[in-house]
Amino acid sequence: MWKDAIEMREAVRNQEVSPVELVQESLEKIHAFNPELNAVVHIQAERALEEAKTRSFEGLPFGGVPLLLKDLGQNQAGEPSSCGSKLLKDIPMKRTDNFVKRLEEAGFIIVGRTNTPEFGFKNMTEAKLWGPVNNPYDLKRNAGGSSGGAAAAVASGMVQIAAASDGGGSIRIPASFSGLLGLKPSRGRIPVGPGSYRGWQGASVNFAMTKSVRDTRELLRALQVEQKDSPFLAPLIREWEVRLERPLRVGVIEKSPIESVVAPEAKAALRKAVHFLEDIGCEVEPIGWPVDGVEVMKNYYLMNSVETAAMMQGLEASLGRALTKDDMELMTWGIYQSGQHILAKDYSVALAKWDTYAHAMEKVHEEFDLILTPTVSDVAPLQTQFPMEESVRQALNQIEELSVPEQQSVIWRMFDRTLALTPFTQLSNITGAPAISLPVYLSDKGLPIGVQFMAARGQEALLLQVAEWFEEQGQFEMRQFS
């Protein structure tokens, strides 16, 4: 079994294994494990093997390492990108995104694409187009979303790294549910465009699922960019080792920002992390949320509604016809319709609130280097845990007849139970700050659950330094599957 992607790279460099053999091994594992997991929805074996045979990988940071892309917003020319939607199924993309180009330049060989919910709207991966992703730790449970296919693929060993994205926790949530590391980088850190530069107004960021801190650091080093045509610019990380002249100060928040229940397993994971930090000399102190979590989520949903309406307008133009309820899942239809009549002035006010949240968090970081929370409120959910309530279904079916406030109320009700499971992650998407989920705990039933560290904007190196402390001292709890 491979430890991580860097071990693969080193084996290629030392001529202990060839890129062709690594690709073949990955394809064999996909064929063996995917019938149970449903993590991979597209395989490009011939293209990957040809690249492995003919391309030079000398000196590349991940030369010859197989990789899966997420089937959402990570386009590669000539390959489909369905976004979990029947509207886009089997349509080959005309160009390769800058993010994917950067992965190729790093030496990865793309072998396929992973399952995602329709347009990435859910924190569970269960698109009607492809079906649900089963969690390797318990096949009756979901791997989380929206990067659930990526998480299941890495946790099971199909690949050692899988590309992912995070617009509200979509890397960190499945990482927590699947016993992986999940970093959401700072806004402006990772390449964007040329199709979309402002994914959800900067809330959505591409990165990956990983198994080791060194993979995470090396990948961030390979992908980071000062992109002049990007609306969001982050200076390059030049110092990867953080020199602390005093004990690290960590503010701890156990309470849900929306006052929802936090399960004993999440609290136990948090306590374990706190005890470790105290043992190594960090200053740890309980703190409260500096912002109103309910208000944050209402502004988040309003943004999501408007951006979805704009996306659907673009799809209508490309397809040459109006979209109907039959073209998409009912949840997607509801979000789409709820964005149709939101006034520009109200959207502007909501986005201005984002800046006040970022300011509030930066004030906290003047006192605390990091903020520690649970990543999620409980272990991975059962596949049948969150059926849509009939009253919500009825409201969605007539949502175009409702007023804007009524529509937003329906959206809140549609997400309220699943949001209660994952209320900790969205704030860093809105503020643009980095956050990471670490796999520090297994429940009595052997189910993983992580803790989340949030840092000030641009402070990924500090997050990785702390992650390395946990890793080196044996604090990670993750299984190897075969």
Q: Does the residue 426 lie in any domain?
A: no
- Which residues have a Cβ under 8 Å from the Cβ of 396 and sit 6 or more positions away? 330, 331, 333, 334, 410, 414
**131 — phi, psi (to 5°)?**
90, 175
Catalytic positions, written as ranges: 70, 146, 170
482 pLDDT exceeds 80? no
Name the packing angle between helices 330-338 and 293-319 (round to 10°). 100
Residue 55 lies in a domain: yes
Q: State how far the Cα of 81 lies from the Cα of 126, in Å rounded to an integer.
A: 16
- Mean pLDDT (the chain) is 97
What mean pLDDT comes out for the span 133-143?
A: 98
Query: Tens digits of per-residue pLDDT, 183-199?
Result: 999 999 999 999 899 99
Give the pLDDT of residue 238: 96
Does any domain span residue 432? no
The pLDDT of residue 446 is 97
188 CB-near residues (< 8 Å, 6+ apart): 202, 227, 230, 232, 233, 234, 432
Same domain, 230 and 307: no
Do 52 and 151 reside in the same domain of the chain? yes
For the segment 413-426, what is each residue's pLDDT rounded down to a tens digit?
A: 999 999 999 999 99
Q: Are residues 299 and 237 in the same domain?
A: no
The whole-number pLDDT of residue 244 equals: 86
Report if residue 278 sits inside a domain: no
At 464 the pLDDT is 98
- Best CA proximity match to 111, nearest among 61, 41, 168: 41
* 240, 300: one domain: no
The answer to whether the beta carbons of residues 450 and 369 sit under 8 Å apart is: no
Examine the domain organization and report whether 124 and 31 are in the same domain: yes
Secondary structure in 3-state letters for the chain: CCCCHHHHHHHHHCCCCCHHHHHHHHHHHHHHHHHHHCCEEEECHHHHHHHHHHCCCCCCCCCCCEEEEECCCCCCECCECCCCCCCCCCCEECCCCHHHHHHHHCCCEEEEEECCCHHHCCCCCEECCCEECEECCEEEEECCCCCHHHHHHHHHCCCCCEEEEECCCCCHHHHHHHCCEEEECCCCCCCCCCCCCCHHHHCCEEEEEECCHHHHHHHHHHHCCCCCCCCCCCCCCCCCCCCCCCCCEEEECCCCCCCCCCCHHHHHHHHHHHHHHHHCCCEEEECCCCCCHHHHHHHHHHHHHHHHHHHHHHHHHHHCCCCCHHHCCHHHHHHHHHCCCCCHHHHHHHHHHHHHHHHHHHHHHCCCCEEEEECCCCCCCECCCCCCCHHHHHHHHCHHHCCHHHHHHHHHHHHHHHHHHCCCCHHHHHHCCCEEEEEEEECCCCCEEEEEEEECCCCHHHHHHHHHHHHHCCCCCCCCCC
Q: Does 482 map to a domain?
A: no
Half-sphere exposure of 33 (CA within 13 A, CB side): 26
Residues of the chain with pLDDT > 90: what percent? Answer: 98
Q: Which of 270, 272, 146 is nearest to 209 (CA)?
A: 146
Residues spanned by the domain of 74: 5-245+468-473
Is the domain of 311 the same as that of 214?
no
Domain assignment present for residue 201? The answer is yes
State whether 116 and 231 are in the same domain.
yes
Q: What does the pLDDT average to over 442-463?
A: 98
pLDDT score for 243: 87
Gap between the Cα atoms of 454 and 33, Å rounded:
34
Give the Å distances, CA to CA, from 294 to 256, 301, 346, 389, 397: 10, 11, 17, 21, 25
Report residue 206 as tokens. Answer: 């591409």
In a shared domain, residues 173 and 312: no
Number of domains in the chain: 2
Task: Taking residues 288-303, report their average pLDDT.
Answer: 98
Q: Are residues 131 and 190 in the same domain?
A: yes
Query: What does the pLDDT read at residue 195?
Result: 87
Q: Are residues 16 and 79 in the same domain?
A: yes
Q: Is residue 172 part of a domain?
A: yes
Q: Domain check: are 299 and 227 in the same one?
A: no
Residue 435 confidence (pLDDT) above 80: yes
> Tokens for 389?
């309530």
CATH assignment at residue 25: 3.90.1300.10
Mean pLDDT of 81-87: 97
Q: Do 357 and 230 share a domain, yes or no?
A: no
Report the interhelical angle of 330-338 vs 404-421 (nearest 10°).
130
Residue 117 within a domain: yes
